[in-house]
């Protein structure tokens, strides 16, 4: 379902590629923060 939504957004939004890159970067940063959070807390 998400994949279909992405395809629809890609076909309609001209800046979908930029948004995808931004979301990917944000997701990678969030995963890095989450993975390093326990070590920082303890």
Mean pLDDT of 13-35: 82
- Residue 15 gets which letter from DSSP? T
What does residue 41 show for φ and ψ, rounded to 5 degrees?
-70, -45
Q: Tell me the C-alpha to C-alpha distance, in Å, between residue 10 and each of 3, 15, 17, 21.
A: 10, 8, 7, 12
Check: pTM over 0.75? Answer yes or no.
Answer: no
pLDDT-derived band at 36 (thresholds 50, 70, 90) equals: confident
**Residue 17 neighbours by CB under 8 Å, 6+ apart:** 10
What is the pLDDT averaged over residues 9-20?
68
Confidence band for 28, pLDDT divided at 50, 70 and 90: very high
Indicate whether 22 pLDDT > 60: yes
The residue ranges of every structural domain in the chain are: 2-41
Place of tokens 């890609």: 10
């Amino acid at each position: 379902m998400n994949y279909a939504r992405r395809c629809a957004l890609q076909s309609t939004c001209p800046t979908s590629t930029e948004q995808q890159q931004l979301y990917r970067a944000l997701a990678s940063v969030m995963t890095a923060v989450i993975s390093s959070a326990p070590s920082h807390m303890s």
